[in-house]
């Protein structure tokens, strides 16, 4: 008689097990392989890069978490300044990105600004001057849960990953800030892409940004988004002009001019409300709180094709054209602090 095989598992599992032993498993033997976003950074890659920047530039760069996302990811901030460990009496300037999950380029631009400042500090006297006289904060990914979902599951995801409890997910973080929360251009429907959440600052991500900005009280801020190539200034919740309309407009025009000077790409400066009315965004809230210039820059491309899916070969030129404007804004903030009374 023949000997029967008594194994619980079919024979092919043995072959598979041998194959894994032979060829290894991409992720240490468990779970899914790490997601990839090509030349764009995933959350894990951003985390690693920011820690590497801090480690490679001690005294000049310091990483901290300003809070955690709903799913528990740290919201990383990189501070760049001389004597970085001390809170000096220097102008604070903030560059944030990644409020909206699918706007991958909005993460890359602030990250590359940080890289530029740190990698050129020793060789470029103008960079050194700016960094020595200011405290620059880079918060490149405010919505890591949504970004991860965009990378792994749904490229065009916008909101965070709040379980709304009715089968829908997500709050639009750029409708969740408190100034005129619930006003025009935001939705009370959980199904909407512009769902404002159940209350102002209902989300841990916007709470973290709120607490961080209240703490730092920056002299200026840029919040990067995509797409449309716009330089937007408050107000966004109303067509009425902001109290500092003239200054805001002048600065937005200067930003657009500085951008165009690099690659001859046009970004249109305008009041946020001219794009469309929207209530509860970052820049309206900060401007209402501190009356400091707060801009939303909508990065490349100009139109819905390719829209949010900006080709990788445009990451570097988009950074390049936005760098001088960012440096100018830091310089402007320093000059404000130097005004003698």
Task: Note the residues at the interface with Ca ion (CB under 5 A).
Answer: 81-83, 88
> Taking the complex as a whole, how short is the minimal distance between the CB of residue 114 and ligand 0X9, in angstroms?
21
> Taking the complex as a whole, how short is the minimal distance between the CB of residue 258 and Ca ion, in angstroms?
25
Q: Half-sphere exposure of 233 toward its Cβ, with a 13 Å CA cutoff?
A: 23
Q: Among 92-100, 211-219, 238-246, 268-276, which window interacts with Zn ion (CB under 5 A)?
A: 92-100
Q: Active-site residue 321, yes or no?
A: no
Strands annotated E in 104-204? 134-139
List 298, 309, 312, 320, catalytic entry: 298
> Taking the complex as a whole, how short is the minimal distance between the CB of residue 308 and ligand 0X9, in angstroms?
9
248 counts as binding ligand 0X9 under rule CB under 6 A: no
171 counts as binding ligand 0X9 under rule CB under 6 A: no
* Residue 162 burial by Cβ neighbours in a 10 Å radius (0-12, 13-18, 19+): buried
225 counts as binding Zn ion under rule CB under 5 A: yes
Token duo for residue 123: 């060789």
Residue 18-57 contact track with ligand 0X9, rule CB under 6 A, x = bound: ----------------------------------------
88 binds, among ligand 0X9, Ca ion, Zn ion, none (CB under 5 to 8 A by kind): Ca ion
DSSP 8-state class, residue 160: -
Residue 186-225 contact track with ligand 0X9, rule CB under 6 A, x = bound: ---------------------------------------x
DSSP 8-state class, residue 32: P
143 counts as binding ligand 0X9 under rule CB under 6 A: no
Alpha carbon distance 286, 307 (integer Å)? 27
Return the residues of window 146-165 that contact ligand 0X9 according to CB under 6 A: none
CA 5 to chain centre: 58
Examine residue 306 and say whether the peptide bond preceding it is cis (omega within 30 degrees of 0).
yes
Pairing verdict, β 74-80 and 61-68: antiparallel
Alpha carbon distance 262, 322 (integer Å)? 8
DSSP H or E segment with residue 96: strand 91-96
CB contact at 8 A, 129 and 118 = no
Footprint on this chain of ligand 0X9 (rule: CB under 6 A): 100, 103, 174, 225, 232, 236, 272, 275-276, 278, 281, 296, 298
Catalytic residue IDs? 298
Footprint on this chain of Zn ion (rule: CB under 5 A): 100, 103, 225
């Amino acid at each position: 008689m023949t000997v029967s095989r008594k194994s619980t598992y079919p024979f092919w599992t043995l072959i598979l097990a041998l194959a894994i032993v032979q060829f290894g498993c991409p992720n240490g033997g468990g779970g899914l392989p790490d997601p990839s976003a090509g030349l764009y950074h995933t959350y894990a890659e951003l985390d690693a890069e920011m820690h590497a920047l801090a480690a490679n530039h001690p005294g000049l760069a310091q990483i901290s978490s300003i809070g955690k996302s709903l799913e528990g990811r740290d919201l990383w901030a990189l501070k760049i300044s001389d004597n970085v460990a001390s809170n000096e009496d220097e102008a604070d300037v903030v560059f944030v990105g990644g409020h909206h999950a699918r706007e991958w380029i909005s993460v890359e631009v602030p990250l590359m600004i940080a890289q530029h400042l740190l990698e050129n500090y020793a060789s470029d006297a103008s960079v050194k001057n700016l960094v020595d006289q200011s405290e620059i904060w880079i918060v490149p990914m405010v919505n890591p849960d949504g970004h991860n979902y965009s990378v792994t599951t749904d490229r065009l995801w916008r909101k965070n990953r709040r379980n709304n409890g009715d089968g829908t997910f997500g709050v639009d973080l750029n409708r969740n800030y408190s100034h005129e929360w619930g006003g025009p251009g935001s939705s009370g429907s959980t199904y909407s892409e512009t769902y404002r959440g159940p209350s102002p600052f209902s989300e841990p991500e916007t709470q973290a940004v709120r607490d961080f900005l209240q703490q730092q009280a920056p002299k200026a801020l840029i919040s990067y988004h995509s797409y449309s190539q716009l330089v937007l200034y408050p107000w966004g919740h109303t067509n009425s002009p902001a109290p500092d309309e003239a200054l805001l407009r002048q600065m937005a025009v200067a930003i657009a001019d500085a951008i165009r000077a690099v690659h001859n790409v046009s970004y249109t400066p305008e009041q946020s409300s001219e794009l469309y009315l929207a209530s509860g965004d970052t820049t309206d809230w900060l401007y209402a709180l501190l009356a400091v210039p707060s801009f939303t820059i909508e990065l490349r491309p100009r139109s819905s094709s390719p829209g949010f899916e900006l080709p990788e070969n445009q990451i570097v030129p988009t950074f390049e054209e936005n760098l001088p404007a960012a440096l100018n804004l830091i310089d402007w903030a320093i000059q404000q602090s130097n005004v003698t009374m």
